[in-house]
Every structure is written in structure tokens, then in C-alpha cells.
Structure 1
Amino acid sequence: MKYADVDRIYQTIPLDNLPWNNETPPDALVRLVQEGKVRPCRTADLGCGAGNYAIYLAGLGFEVTGVDSSPTAITIAREHAEKRGVRCRFVVADLLGGLQEVSGTFDFAYDWEFLHHIFPEDRETYIKNVYKILSRGATYFSVCFSDDDPQFGGTGKYRTTRIGTTLYFSSESEIRELVSPYFTIRELKTIDVSGKSGPHRAVYLLAEWR
């Protein structure tokens, strides 16, 4: 998805109609916290959108920085955090750029259903940026659409959504190849994830900086 299109989407489509905007944190993220696989620490929410999950973690004591390329999304996220009385930092930054706007390093970073917006030719740039902002031994968590998923009426790698965005559907082997040069993989599997249009299949990654 082109970054300019993301901001247009947030400007023109109500949050309730955005397929990725859910106020309830996903079960997979909640389990990471409940099982103690991640504990309150400096955290980066990459592609944070309206900030729902950043706000959830901040409410549990995480020191969260939400990053998104859409100024409109970041404005919404800041408003949501203020209304909930939760302290978060939100910054506008191109996650394929230099990330000068993102200061310091993090002990935990995650992208929830964001990676499928990045096409293969840009993914190495992205994963290098994730690696760059993490501290030694940090945890990286990612969930993106699986090519086993029947969503959007096809079995192809590239599929168009009802709001006109094009997504790339990944295999476990592609994710392994992408992250292995930078991270030690702790878990890599395909899971079922609930969504606004029904359940879908997603590739789940939990990895450690090395």
C-alpha cells in the first residue's frame, strides 16, 4: 500500500469501517502478555494506526511508542490515548525510511497485520529497520495474512480488499527467510485470527534479536 493512500483512507473512511481497526486487542497479543513472554518494557507498535493496541499495552505498564506513516492516524491515536488517560508516544514516520523520528531502542516491537501491506521488494528494508531500533536480546512479534487464507476471493499472493488496498499474502517459509539473518525464531506457525469480516489465517512469528 502506498503511504499517501493510507492517510487518505484515514481521512475519508470512518474508523468503524476500516477492516484493520479493532479496539479489542487480539488474543495472540494478549496471550503473550498473560503468559509472560513479554513484560512491561520499552515497546514499539509499528503501523499503530489509531493506537488501540499501543493504548492497551500502555495501560498495563508498557512504555509504548506508536509509529505510523499517516498523520491523520497519529492524530486519532493521540486523541484516543488522552481520552483514556493513558500515556503513549505517537510519531509519524515512514517505516521504510530512515526512522530518524524514532528515538532510542526498544525491548519489544510488534507489527499486527501490518507486514502484508509491505510487498516483497521492500521487506528487507523494513526488517532491517526493525532490527535497527531494537536492543540486544529484544523480542519481535509479527502477524500477517497467510497465503493459506481464503480472504478476498483468491489464492494468489497479491489480493485486493474491499476498500481498494492491495495486500501480499505470505508463507511461513517466506517469513523465515526474511527474518532469519537478523533474528532467532522462537515460534513460527499459521494461526486462526478473528477479524471484522470473519476469521482468517495468519502467519505468526515470535523472534529474538541477535
Structure 2
Amino acid sequence: MPEWDEIFTESGRVFLNPHSDMERISELFGKKKIQRILDLGCGTGRHILFFAKKGFDVYGLDGSPRGIELAREWLTEEGEEAKLDCSRIEHPFPYADKFFDALISIQVIHHNFIADILKTVKEIERVLKKDGIIFITIPYLIEDQPTSDEWQLKKVESRTYIPHAGKEKGIPHHFFSLEEIEKIFNAFEFLEIYIDTTNHRAILGVKK
């Protein structure tokens, strides 16, 4: 994805610290005997490194070649290993059916148009085992919807906007309603849906 390549080339490791709830999620994974995890949209590797250090079998998938390169460098610096692949997340994932015990995706899948988001969710369903766990964070709207002037966004489809300024200029942002989440992720039983410390909606669920 050229846009994120530009961001990672210019700014390097944009995100350094794991999500504030990742320690709790890691503990849950341990209790549930999770072994193989996919970080979907792994970027430069902050969560790849977090889970690798805890002994999980970690895979990362991202559409930015520069992001994957930086993630590999970070793993090498820390003496850790993970399997990293570069592909856009709306394309078929390069993994077998029911391959993963768990999948995380932090502030990633909303960066697309709804038709492509639906493709991504279908691939998430495909590669997860039955009873596999998801932990996904996505933006939501506090108000009914943002205005173009306030957010410097251009509406391109229902609940999808593209910034025309700022670091993420040109990158689609889809803002999910709760009803939309329940419909799109209907293959999952929700354990929790809540607002996290970054003001994103966090989804913790189990594949039915």
C-alpha cells in the first residue's frame, strides 16, 4: 500500500507501544491455550514483537513492504522471530483454512471501502479455527457522522471518508456503527465490545 509505505518511510516506527489492553489479551490467549496468532495489518511490528517475546507462534501480514522491512529489522534487533508476509488485507490471505488460533488487528481494517472490508472479514473467518479468538479495534462515530469541514474529510460512500489533509491523507476511513459490527461479524460470538483508551471500539470475540 503506497500510502503507508510513504508514512513508514518518512516516520519509521510510527507506533512503538502495544495496545493498552494487549497484556490482558495475552493472558486470555494463555488461558485458552492459544499458540498460533496472526497480526493482521502488523505495520512495523509492535504487536508482533510483543507476542513473540511471550513465546507465541506469531505471523504478521501487512500491505506495506516498508512496514514489513521495519518489522523484520525490529525483530532482529530484539533477537526474536516471526513469519511476515506482504499483501493487501482485502486480498486472499496466504494461509490455509483454519490455520490460526487467534487474530489481532489494531486500527487497521477500517482503512478501506466497505466492499473490501467485507472481503477482509471473510478471510478472517476462513483462516481462524473454530473457537478461534479475535481482538480487533476500529473507529466509531461519537456523533452521527463527521462533517467534512470539521474532520477535513471527503465522504465517498456511506460512513466512509477520505482525509484531504494530514498524515493519512488519501487513505479511506470507514466509521462503523454498532449495528454494522454485529452484522459484519456475525460468524463470531462477542465476548466484549467496548471503547478503548484510544477512543476506538474494541471487539473481542470467538468464532462460532
Q: What TM-score range do you get, normalising by the shorter chain?
A: 0.7 to 0.9
Gaps (5+ residues) in structure 2? Answer: none
Task: Tell me, yes or no, if the aligned pair for 1:171 and 1:203 is still in contact at 8 Å.
Answer: no
The letter for the 1-side match of 2:7 is I
Pick from 91, 96, 106 the counterpart of residue 100 of structure 2. Answer: 106
- Partners of 1:148 and 1:30 lie apart in 2 by 27
Match of 1:98, SS state, is coil
Match of 1:38, SS state, is helix
CA root-mean-square deviation:
2.3
Match of 2:29, SS state, is coil
Pick from 5, 8, 16 the counterpart of residue 6 of structure 2. Answer: 8
Q: CA deviation at 1:117?
A: 0.5
Q: CA deviation at 1:108?
A: 0.6
Match of 1:184 in 2: 189
- Partners of 1:187 and 1:120 lie apart in 2 by 23
- Structure 1 residue 46 and structure 2 residue 43: aligned? no
Gaps (5+ residues) in structure 1? Answer: 194-200
Per the normalisation by structure 1, the TM-score is 0.82
- Partners of 2:123 and 2:207 lie apart in 1 by 12
Match of 2:166 in 1: 162
- Structure 1 residue 147 and structure 2 residue 141: aligned? yes
Match of 1:206 in 2: 204
Per the normalisation by structure 2, the TM-score is 0.83
Q: CA deviation at 1:6?
A: 2.5
Match of 2:19 in 1: 26
Match of 2:59 in 1: 65
Q: How many residues are paired up?
A: 192
Q: CA deviation at 1:135?
A: 1.1
- Partners of 1:159 and 1:31 lie apart in 2 by 33
Match of 1:198 in 2: none
Deviations 1:106-143 (A, max 9, x none): 10101000022122222211100011111111001100
Q: Percent identity?
A: 22
Give the stretch that moved more between structures: 162-171 or 42-51. 162-171
Task: Tell me, yes or no, if the aligned pair for 1:23 and 1:53 is still in contact at 8 Å.
Answer: no
Pick from 49, 53, 60 the counterpart of residue 55 of structure 1. Answer: 49
